[in-house]
């Protein structure tokens, strides 16, 4: 829990998750519906949403496309062995590319040399290959090696759910 979210906002945020995990109802005034459910005013509801968005607890109130249906059938998890001192700058640069959906620094391990992860999506294998080439160009000499792991099967996909602490 972020230190910037107050205890009462955190409580309201958890209720918001429970209310909208399946989606926001398609109503003329969705905020009035939320306000009624939360037992607060419409003004307070909007303030809460803006605050949670500013703190990063809500990324946005948005539509999530089925990317397969939109033609984005190929994804690759590109992994890179990037010099530690250059990571802050290069991580931001790679994450800013429009075709990168997720970009993280993760630890190296004895049998895993890669510390930068960037997920790329495209409409063809050629498209994601070309994205990988572009990332390689951007990283230049700071990168000592890379691989792209393409997914061939979804084994399970339930999404991240909030699990109550035991």
H or E element, residue 17: helix 7-20
Minimum distance from residue 83 beta carbon to other proteins (Å): 15
Sign of CA dihedral 87, 90, 93, 99: negative
> Which stretch in 93-101, 125-133, 134-142 sits in contact with other proteins by CB under 8 A?
93-101
Determine which residue in the list 41, 104, 130, 144 makes contact with other proteins, applying CB under 8 A. 104
Give CA–CA dist 17/61, Å, rounded. 12
Nearer to other proteins, 39 or 110 (CB): 110
**Of 120, 127, 115, 108, which is closest to residue 148 (Cα–Cα)?**
120
H or E element, residue 104: strand 100-105
- Residues of span 112-131 touching other proteins by CB under 8 A: 112, 117, 121
Q: Decide: is 23 part of the binding site for other proteins (CB under 8 A).
A: yes
> Which stretch in 60-68, 125-133, 134-142 sits in contact with other proteins by CB under 8 A?
60-68
């Amino acid at each position: 829990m972020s230190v910037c979210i107050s205890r009462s906002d955190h409580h309201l945020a958890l209720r918001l998750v429970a209310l909208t995990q399946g989606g926001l109802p398609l109503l003329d005034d969705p905020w009035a519906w939320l306000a009624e459910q939360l037992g607060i005013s419409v003004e307070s509801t909007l303030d809460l949403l803006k605050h949670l968005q500013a703190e990063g607890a809500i990324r946005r109130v948005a539509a999530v496309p089925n990317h397969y249906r939109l033609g984005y059938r190929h994804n690759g998890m590109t992994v890179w062995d990037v010099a530690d001192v250059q990571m802050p700058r290069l991580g931001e640069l790679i994450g800013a590319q429009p075709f990168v959906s997720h970009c993280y620094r993760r630890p190296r391990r004895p049998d895993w040399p890669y510390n930068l992860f960037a997920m790329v999506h495209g409409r063809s294998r050629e498209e994601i290959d070309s994205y990988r080439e572009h990332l390689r160009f951007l990283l230049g000499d700071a990168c000592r090696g890379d691989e792209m792991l393409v997914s061939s099967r979804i084994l399970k996909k339930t999404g991240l759910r909030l699990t109550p602490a035991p």
